[in-house]
Amino acid sequence: MLRLGRREFDPHEPVIMAIVNRTPDSFYDQGATFRDEPALARVEQAVAEGAAIIDIGGVKAGPGEEVSAAEEVRRTVGFVAEVRRRFPDVVISVDTWRAEVGEAVCEAGADVLNDAWGGVDPRLAEVAARYRVGLVCTHAGGAEPRTRPHRVSYDDVMADILRVTVGLAERAVALGVPRESVMIDPGHDFGKNTRHSLEATRRLSEMVATGWPVLVSLSNKDFVGETLDRPVKERVIGTLATTAVSAWLGAQVYRVHEVAETRQVVDMVASIAGHRPPAVARRGLA
């Protein structure tokens, strides 16, 4: 059972995490939700389309203008509080690697800290433990935040993913993070080239076999773009194909831009796998 905020999710229940970027320079939407009202409208739409988690980020993942911790706090804390007020039952996640930001957003009502840079600040897990919130433990190949991979290599990329993510998860639980609120993420694109990300997807069942709930962040990423030779705005089909494979292999949480489309994909896979009944069943019954 995965427990996040006020919500509980059965082991075979797919969970959609909708991305809401509080940045003026995000790679996908170029700042469309930087201002409060468009961002709140995005939250409302995502919840209506089936997102259980809203993932709020104040710094884009890639290189760009320096964003201080104080500025990241300014971009996220007030927004977290407002989402908490308007949507009391939604699970609020914040994408940050900084402990001081984690502390501030937990005070404002966040339920999950999404540590996409693989424990680069070990104090972040301590914050999650202190506030008894969820934690995403990600493999980033030891990369520094906001850097792109350069000539990265692994003897066995999945072995390294398992070593790092399971180690981070076990440390988090030892610190006091509730075990049922910890997720592991292979970190597609982070500290990896395209072949590494494809292999991580192909071998995702090895992560699922650890027993930790697996989160995948696939949405419109570079490994999809390079695999199909498509620019950012033309990666939805490749993303959804990768999502379907990940769902079949046992991933549970999906961090996405396209909520409605992802919801249909993961629900269809769950029904094929026998974990979800059809929404309606009329054919051949009359």
Per-residue b or e along 192-227, where b marks 16 or more CB atoms closer than 10 Å to that residue's CB:
bbbebbbbbbebbebbbeeebbbbbbbbbbbbbbbb
- The answer to whether 200 and 186 are in contact (CB under 8 A) is yes
233 catalytic? Reply is no
| Catalytic-labelled residue, pool 255, 263, 282, 283 | 255
Q: Where are the beta strands (DSSP E) in 71-191?
A: 91-95, 112-115, 134-138, 182-185
Residue 230 backbone zone (phi > 0: left; psi -120 to 50: alpha; other: beta)? beta
| Closest of 271, 187, 10 to residue 263, by C-alpha | 271
- Is 60 catalytic? The answer is no
Cα 90 versus chain centre, distance: 15
Residue showing tokens 């939805």? 236
Q: Which of 163, 221, 276, 283 is the catalytic position?
A: 221
- On the CB side of 65, CA atoms within 13 Å amount to 9
3-state secondary structure (DSSP) of residue 179: helix
HSE-CB of 148 using CA atoms within 13 angstroms: 9
* Enzyme catalytic residues: 221, 255
